[in-house]
Structure 1
Amino acid sequence: MNGKVRLGEFLQTRRSQLQPEDLGIPGYGERRRVPGLRREELAALAGVSVSYYTRLEQGQSLNASPQVLDAIARALRLEEAERLHLHDLARSSATGSGRSRRPAPERVTEATGQLLEALAHVPAIVSGRRSDVLAWNRLGHALFAGHLDPDAPDRPAERPNMARLVFLDAHTRDLYADWPAKARAVVGNLRLVAGRHPDDPALHALVGELRAKSSDFASMWADHRVTACAVATYQMRHPLVGPLTVTQQTLSQGRAPGRDQGQNIVVATTEADSPARTTLALLAQLTPQRNPARPGIRACAD
């Protein structure tokens, strides 16, 4: 799917999700053939001509200015992550798709490995931009994927992928008491990454696989919601130690020199003196050390 189509689908979907009465637009009791705002209503809210907005939505108008895109974002009531996503889509639409190259395997940098080692007492995983698990510490493996081979991140062709696990793995689905909330966060983050990297064939192959294998993913993907996963609290039902509530924080490594995208470290923390803290300590006691020389680190080396 090219950039023009992605931009048009995003605008059409988000326009259909807005109700005129929510924006103070009188409906006069009329029934609408399609849900949401009409193009002329959105154009008026954004302060652009109907013909211009129509061309933009149909992929016939390129090089929309940042000011126009921001005006449309305000009219659509987009949040900040969604506004940036709109800019990414417009940029992709204007420049067109470049040549798709087979992506090189992502690697954990030495600095990131050191940080993961320092986080030995909290569950932590290092994920790539496509949500592949590049490394995890002992507790990260035990909490998120204790049913998988702890050495799997060491082998690029066999790395677990958190998006696949959330949608296609029964163990991971049962792990979250509110699975739909976790699933929506995963889809929203993939949407954000896809907008930033429109020419990543491995990313688009992952999305295609999930759409084909999971009706839940296909439905959520069609919603065009965008989410920047930063901090979220989840109730988990761990099969070994029982229920616990954790706060998952994504620490972005940013854009590393010489790389398209830095890595993310996802850590799971618990409130001090809480039952969840006690449960996590029990999980640590029940999880054996695998590498005495470097406790709890399973870092990859391509």
Structure 2
Amino acid sequence: MDDLASFLRTRRSRVDPAAVGIPTGSRRRVEGLRREEVAHLSGVSVDYYVRLEQGRATQPSEQVLDALARVLGLDATEREHLCRLTRQRRRPSRAPGGRVRPELLRVLDLVPDAPALIINHRLDVLAGNRLAGLLHSRPLPGLNTARHIFLEETERGLYADWDKCTLDVVGHLRLAAGKYPEDQRLASLVGELAMGSERFRRLWARADVRARAHGRKAYRHPLIGVLELHQENFALPDESGMELIVMSAAPGSPTEDGLRLLAGLGAAGDDARPAVEERVRE
């Protein structure tokens, strides 16, 4: 599902040799750095680097990992991912369960004016408050946001920044695959997405990883229009792999008014909800 070799290959392929002092000529056919060049710049033998890239070298030191991260230009998230991949053959992490504590469900109810969700590492929506359900115009239990974005939505669907969302989703799943390589449900999800989406296949092959804790998230609601929200991701502290996601609107903004209107549609009774769902199906 995810492996050290593909990650190192894709990272060295994106390094400009000239940027690290290696002259390039017209006969150079390798994109990025060669294995021996990475080894030389990192201060390790070529044989050791080849074994590392093939997953046959065990327990690389922190100094070696730091040197590789420097040569390959890894950011903090990529460096952590590299460390995890070098460890996974020795002690892979077991995938966490999916039970949401009742106390967390009460927390969702305490956020009435902003959409709030609890998701797991596979991007399954485990729970959500009322406004989150209205935003998605569908029941939240059973929703997987990766499947929704790649297989059910289009570039003109719910996600106004669809291209960026796809990058975030693949980067997140890559991190999850590195952390939980034994998770068969995650492997099945990746296979399903690869079979059903050419864009997913292309992005997955890049082996990019992303960890997003906050940022802009724009939705295109079928009745309300575009909602420019700010998303905060809170990792839950019990190693459950779950995150609490809260999406807020800037005070006095059109999106704040839009959320009030959306909440009002839901408060109008059962007649409003089918109208939203019917519009989504059109």
Which of 281, 289, 292 does residue 260 from structure 2 map onto? Answer: 281
Identify if the C-alpha distance between structure 1 residues 50 and 201 changes in structure 2 by more than 3 Å, giving closer, same or farther.
same
Contact 1:174 1:237 (8 Å CA) reproduced:
yes
Q: CA deviation at 1:177?
A: 2.3
Residue 262 of structure 1 deviates from its aligned partner by: 4.0
Return the offset for 1:288: 2.9
Could you report, residue by residue, the CA deviation over 1:209-245 in whole angstroms, capped at 9, with x for unpaired residues? Answer: 1111111111111111000121121332211101121
Q: Deviations over 1:163-216 (max 9, x none)?
A: 111111126861222211011001101111111111111111111111111111
Would you say the 8 A contact 1:167–1:173 is kept in 2?
A: no
Q: CA separation in 2, counterparts of 1:262 and 1:12?
A: 28
The residue aligned with 1:141 is 133
Distance 1:114 1:173, change over 3 A: farther
1:281 is matched by which residue type in structure 2? R
Q: Secondary structure at the match of 1:287?
A: helix
Compared CA separation, residues 173 and 184, structure 1 to 2 (3 A): farther
* Residue 24 (str. 1) matches residue 16 (str. 2): no
Structure 1 residue 55: deviation in Å? 1.4
Aligned residue for 2:172, secondary structure, equals helix
Counting only pairs closer than 5 Å after superposition, residues 1-302 of structure 1 correspond to structure 2 as: 1=1, 6-27=3-24, 29-93=25-89, 95=90, 106-143=98-135, 145-146=136-137, 148=138, 150=139, 153=141, 159-170=142-153, 174-254=157-237, 256=238, 261-288=240-267
8 Å Cα contact 1:39-1:54 kept in structure 2: yes
Deviation by residue 1:114-159 (Cα, 9 ceiling, x = unmatched): 221111210011111211111010111111x21x2x2x52xxxxx1
203-212 vs 61-70, which moves further: 61-70
The alpha carbon displacement at 1:97 in A equals: 6.2
- Separation of aligned partners in 2, 1:290 and 1:195: 45
Is contact 1:166–1:172 with CA below 8 Å preserved after alignment?
A: no
Identity within the alignment, %: 44
Normalised to the residue count of structure 2, the TM-score between the two structures is 0.88
Equivalent-residue separation in structure 2 for 1:134 and 1:117 (angstroms): 14
Q: Distance in 2 between matches of 1:282 and 1:179?
A: 24
Structure 2 residue runs without a partner (length 5+):
271-282
Partner of residue 300, structure 1: none
RMSD: 2.2
Contact 1:244 1:279 in 2 (8 A): yes
Higher relative contact order (CA 8 A, sep 6+): 1
SS of the residue corresponding to residue 266 of structure 1 reads strand
Counterpart AA for 2:185: A
**Structure 2 CA distance for partners of 1:173 and 1:44, relative to 1, 3 Å:** farther
In structure 1, stretches of 5+ residues that fail to align are 154-158, 292-302
Secondary structure of the 1:226 match is coil
TM-score normalised by L of structure 1: 0.83
**What is the alpha-carbon distance in structure 1 between the residues aligned to residue 91 and residue 195 of structure 2?**
26
One-letter amino acid of the structure 2 residue matched with residue 192 of structure 1: L
Per the alignment, in what secondary structure is the counterpart of residue 36 of structure 1?
A: coil
